[in-house]
Each structure stands twice: as structure tokens, then as C-alpha cells.
Amino acid sequence: MPIRNRFAQMQEDITAWRRYLHQHPELLYDVHETAAFVVERLKEFGVDEITPGIGKTGVVAVIKGKSDTKGRVIGLRADMDALPIHEASGVDYASTVPGKMHACGHDGHTAILLGAAHYLAETRNFDGTVVLIFQPAEEGGAGGKAMCEDGLMDRWGIQEVYGLHNMPGLPVGAFATRVGPLLASADEFEIVVTGKGGHAAAPHEAVDTTLVGAQIVVALQSVVARNINPVHRVVLTVGTFATDSNASNVIAHQVRMKGTVRTLDPEGRGLAEARIREIAEHTAKAYGAEAEVIWTEGYPVTVNSAEQTGYALEAARAVSGQVDGEAAPVMPAEDFSFMLQERPGAYIFLGNGEGPMCHHPAYIFEDDAIPFGCSWFAELVERRMPLGAG
């Protein structure tokens, strides 16, 4: 097993950190204790610089290599937040906070990056600077964006950025990624159709928003079927449909529906928004009603740059015998995408073995994946910024 021996030695410590974080999950930007734990560990390792409070509760730290002849700076990122899920994993180190759980393995990501930081601060076998990025609010709060807006990339001179995520279903220690789109964008829309309520027996005196809304739901599927280039992937789902009436003999005055658009194609994203607005507004008008479309931009497509994906794969192959460089993209969204919009970089999946998917109450992070993740970060740094290459 070509993981670094040092990480095999450190696995017990890193696993203990991971399980401590697992017992104390925090949500969104409210990751004060987690961030404090990260800062404490980083101080113990003797990193060169620690700056908390970036992107509200994110932590940025710096480790300088033995030399710096080329001025290279690499960012390594982990997410710290948990989910509002009641844990049902049955592990003996389960969440101590009812209704909160590290069900996406961000406790594992944080512990892995801490492990890598410990090693890099101890060895410093690289020519350049490593910037450690511990971000809050990955789960729907756009913490990655908040850190970027706080000047993360420019302030620390980050030139390229890398991150990993555990992946249930992929064997433990296996890696998978691809050049280009890896995770989808996720936007939300709400459509409010206003007509004229009335008696169910007198439709001619009303404008039936249930009928109009239903026509809009059907017509929206033509966006994917008829507007999007068929070689691109777009999913459009209407998830809720609510009338303002609860009675069988009333024509609803107003209908509200909410949905989501996910795509791996940044162009398709803009097209979908434009078509949803047109279809909703014009369909409503055709029936004498009005539709208002509220569009909420979510996470962008996570797009890996070609060159950096090459480095990510090279490091993965040095660490593991199971590396897939042409993984299929997946439709969840990830806010590392905001960092990849600012700098080239790569995101990689690390196998978590068999078991429930992320966001499931019985999900369990696989601690045996830790040395692979740590070794990947270390290989990446030492290969991308080799000593004596100046």
C-alpha cells in the first residue's frame, strides 16, 4: 500500500480528531467549535500563519516549504460543516447533538487536511507555500463563496486549488475524477401563478390557477426535451405544487410551485432560466393569469481544469492502485465550484467503501480512507512544488 508510512503512524490520532468532530457537529456558519479545534491543532503543528474568521468562520493557514524559489502557492481545501439530520448510524462515537450529524463526511475531510498539515509542517519538503483552507457552510450556505469574497485567493496569492470528497460506493482508497464538469450546478426557482379564485361550479367567472399551473409544469419539461442540446445534461424538477385553496369546490386564486434545475453545462444553466421565465409568464398570460418567477442562483458547475486534474491524478496514482481519471460526473452540487471559478484546480472523489450514501442518517465515514486522503494532499504538494527544481 503506497500510502505514506507517516500517515499510517498518524492514523490513530487523525481518527481520534475525526471522531471528536463527529461527536460535535455544527451547522452552516455556526462552526465556531470546529474552527477553534482546527486552530488548536494547527498551532500544535507549528504552521507559519493562522487566520480565523475568513468567510465568517473559515480558517486559513500557511505552511512554507524549505525553499521558495518560484513563488508557487497551492491552496488545499476542506469543508467543516454538518447537516440537520438525526444520526442513526449506530457508531459508538455518534453525534452528541440531537438533530445534527456529520452525514456528509466533512468531519473526515477536516481531519484529513489536518493530518496533511501536520505532515507538511513537520517535513516541509517542497518549494513554495501551502495555504490550508477550512471552510464553513458547504451544505447550502455557500461558505466557499464567502471565503472568496473575503479575498481568499488574492490575499494569500493562491495560484491553484485542490479539494477532495469521500464517495460511498467507491472502494476505500480508490480515487476518481475527470477533466471538466464533475458536479452539477443547482439553482432553485419558485413560480407564483395568480388568477382569479372562484366557485368550482362557475369556472367561467374565474381564472383557474390550478389548470394554468399544471400547464406550466408540463410545458417546463420541454426545456430539457426541446431547448437544451441533447448531449448536455440538465435536470429540471418541480418539487412542490400548492394551491391557496384546501377545498374541492373552490377554484384557487393562487398557485405556488418550487423546483430545481441542475446541469453540468454552464450554458444550459442560463438557457434554462430564460426558458422557465418565458414559459411560465407566457403560458399564464395565454390563460388570463399572471406568473412571477423567482430565480435563486445556487452553486455553479464544479469544473476541473485539465492541467491541475493531471497533477491530481498523478498524485492519486502515486498513492493508490485504483484511480479512475474518467469518472462519470454526478448531479449533486458542491461549493468548491466557487473557488474553481477563481483559480484553476481539481476536485477528486476518495472511495468510502460500501454503505449508505452521503446525507443518509446511517452514513458512516470510513476511517481507513484517511491515510489515502492525507497522502494524496502530501503527494500533490511535493510533486507540484518539488525541492531543488529551481
The cell numbers describing 332, all together, are: 449533486
* Residue among 104, 167, 176, 216 that touches Ni ion (CB under 5 A): 104
Q: In terms of CB distance, is 365 or 377 closer to Ni ion? A: 365
Print the binding letters for residues 49-88 with Ni ion: x by CB under 5 A, - otherwise.
Answer: ----------------------------------------
Stretch in the footprint of Ni ion (CB under 5 A) among 98-106, 156-164, 193-201, 296-304 = 98-106
Stretch in the footprint of Ni ion (CB under 5 A) among 96-104, 222-230, 275-283, 288-296 = 96-104
Q: How many residues bind Ni ion (CB under 5 A)?
A: 1
Number of other residues whose CB lies within 10 A of the CB of residue 233: 17
Q: In terms of CB distance, is 104 or 130 closer to Ni ion? A: 104
Q: In terms of CB distance, is 76 or 289 closer to Ni ion? A: 76
- C-alpha neighbours within 13 Å on the C-beta side of residue 188: 9
CB-based contact 333:186 (threshold 8 Å): yes
Residue number, nearest CB to Ni ion: 104
From the CB of 85, what's the least distance to Ni ion, in Å?
Answer: 12
Number of other residues whose CB lies within 10 A of the CB of residue 177: 23
Q: In terms of CB distance, is 162 or 189 closer to Ni ion? A: 162
Q: Compute CA distances 229 → 181, 190, 263, 275, whole Å.
A: 16, 24, 12, 14
**What is the distance between the alpha carbons of residues 336 and 299, in angstroms, rounded to a whole number?**
9
From the CB of 104, what's the least distance to Ni ion, in Å?
Answer: 3
Q: In terms of CB distance, is 104 or 120 closer to Ni ion? A: 104
From the CB of 177, what's the least distance to Ni ion, in Å?
Answer: 15
Stretch in the footprint of Ni ion (CB under 5 A) among 22-30, 101-109, 191-199, 289-297 = 101-109
Interacting residues toward Ni ion by CB under 5 A: 104
